Chain A
């Protein structure tokens, strides 16, 4: 059974996802961050559809579980491509767009192959296990890629404040989810990790993106070297 806190978090998630898109439209940034906004719109649709499936079939139903995990995998792939577009922004001056896209597809295929290798011993519900495994692995791959992107930002002295904050918030999101999944595998009985924590982490991304798009002007600049934990 879901409690009031779950409903509040569910409603807040939908509200914030819609908020990101509205902020982007209001600030004329929808096309500038097209992939990020499409991802947020997709997340909003999935949030609404999950609620619909939940209200029709119940939280513990097979329909809800299947819908949850399959939609989560699709959203993770979507976020992965949104991250790749941030690579394109940062590396735009190096004219490496084609190589970045190619590397992204190869890495995605590699992650899918690795996920398949992990679950191929399972005899039942192979596709569902594959989808869950792929989703978990993509969070970690996303974290490594965001880390590389942050390194590229520091190295190339990228100064656009919006890009910097979008990348950092994505890094927070990926690392929090990757840590949560790892902790869940280490301690399957730890209910805090599988209770409200993922929902709270899921809120952080639309919150940070809405803040960035709404409050940080497009022309704002930051010295990224000042933000690094180890000063450069």
Chain B
């Protein structure tokens, strides 16, 4: 009984901390302006839509991985899946939740676009180093 109560409380707290942590990662990147080339490649200008996420992630996987970004990109990927789950279940009957999940999915896509920009400049730096050597 006690273990059950602890499990339910811990799982609820885990979910809440996970959402807040992902939103803190997104908030840190939302102030960054996308470079012209990322805008060209992704088609995202000022605001992103949730439907852009999959495409941006595919582009992200084409670039060499930056070790320091791996954790955050995976966390946002999991958060996006959670949002998709909410969107296709509870959000169908709660319009405000639907609007919220749409906005969050868009911010996930923007986060992925910012990460793409970082990976592109990382790849460029690596190439430049190889050319110099």
Contact = CB atoms under 8 A, between A and B. Distances in A.
Interface of A: 140, 143, 146-147, 150, 161, 164-165, 168-169, 171-172, 175-176, 178-179, 181-183, 185-186, 207-208, 210-211, 214-216, 220, 222-223, 226-229
Contacts, number: 82
Contact of B28 (A179, A186, A222): A222
B52 to A, nearest CB: 21
Given A172-B14, A176-B14, A211 B68 contact: yes
A214 B69 CA distance: 11
Main secondary structure, interface of A, reads helix
Contacts of B27: 222-223, 226-227
Contacts of A214: 68
12 contacts: A140-B6, A168-B20, A168-B24, A172-B18, A175-B10, A178-B6, A178-B13, A182-B4, A183-B3, A215-B68, A226-B23, A229-B19
B7 A161 contact: no
A185 B10 CA distance: 14
Interface in B4-33: 4, 6-7, 9-11, 13-14, 16-21, 23-25, 27-28
Contacts of A172: 14, 17-18, 21
B84 interface: no
A220 B17 CA distance: 20
Nearest to A136: B6
Given A216-B28, A222-B27, A229-B20, A182 B14 contact: no
Contacts of B9: 143, 178
- Most B CB contacts (10 A, CB to CB) among A140, A171, A182, A183 go to A182
- Most chain B C-beta atoms within 10 Å of own C-beta, residue among A140, A186, A215: A215
* Tier of interface size on chain B: 20 to 34
Contacts of A161: 24, 28
Contacts of B14: 172, 175-176, 179
Interface in B87-132: none
Given A168-B17, A211-B72, A229-B19, A182 B24 contact: no
Contacts of B25: 165
Given A150-B17, A175-B17, A229-B16, A140 B24 contact: no
B61 interface: no
Contacts of B23: 226-227
Nearest to A176: B14
